[in-house]
A and B are shown apart, each in its own frame.
Chain A
Amino acid sequence: DARVTQTPRHKVTEMGQEVTMRCQPILGHNTVFWYRQTMMQGLELLAYFRNRAPLDDSGMPKDRFSAEMPDATLATLKIQPSEPRDSAVYFCASGLGTGTYEQYFGPGTRLTVT
């Protein structure tokens, strides 16, 4: 069955390194979301795209985070340079953008920055 895929599933890196997380939305979905989940802040929306165009990235630290959709089958979230406070689980979700506006989540990337 169709599902959102994310790579890598786990990433451990040192402070200052660049981290790139990738997401493949469900084929035919035109909206893509990036969330960050931590114990302290819960689930936060970082950015989202509709038809590959960024609609809202107000939840994202602009100085070090960037999100792109090079094509309809790939969304990326990049952190450069990474910091220990970026340690979290990052989820990608996709949706049809119409109807019930249901979002389908990927399995997440657990990022640890030491």
Chain B
Amino acid sequence: AQTVTQSQPEMSVQEAETVTLSCTYDTSENNYYLFWYKQPPSRQMILVIRQEAYKQQNATENRFSVNFQKAAKSFSLKISDSQLGDTAMYFCASSSETSYDKVIFGPGTSLSVIP
């Protein structure tokens, strides 16, 4: 069974600084997708970034980038130039090769950006 672990329940960062959120996962599959979702106080879940496991190059989306270490089953999210609007819960998630539709979510990390 797939599992996703986020070991940091809460984090904070000063505005304009860089922060890294950790995520580890466990799967026996060779091919899968990994995601980071953001849930601001509005409750709306928003996809931030995705990574395909067979791609070695780390995904980037503007100020958001990932460090994907397939052998270590690690998938961390780096947020550069943090902004107040980045304050949210961040969920790491993965899907399996055999059931790409079924996404397993981690417990989340609450990030606060301090002015």
Contacts and interface: CB of A to CB of B under 8 A. Distances in A.
Contacts, number: 48
B33 interface: yes
A42 B107 contact: yes
B45 A91 contact: yes
A100 B33 contact: yes
B102 A42 contact: no
A45 B103 contact: yes
B47 A31 contact: no
Interface in B66-115: 91, 95, 99-108
Given A31-B101, A45-B102, A95-B101, A102 B47 contact: yes
A46 to B, nearest CB: 12
Contact of B43 (A31, A55, A95, A108): A108
Contacts of A105: 37, 44-46
Interface residues of B, number: 23
A107 B44 contact: yes
Contacts of A108: 43-44
Interface residues of A, number: 23
Nearest to B45: A105
Nearest to A42: B107
Contacts of A110: 43
A93 B45 contact: yes
A97 interface: yes
A95 B108 CA distance: 22
Max chain A Cβ within 10 angstroms of own Cβ: one of B91, B101, B102:
B101
Interface of A: 31, 33, 42-43, 45, 48, 50, 55-56, 89, 91, 93, 95, 97, 100-105, 107-108, 110
8 contacts: A42-B106, A43-B108, A48-B101, A55-B101, A56-B99, A56-B102, A97-B101, A101-B95
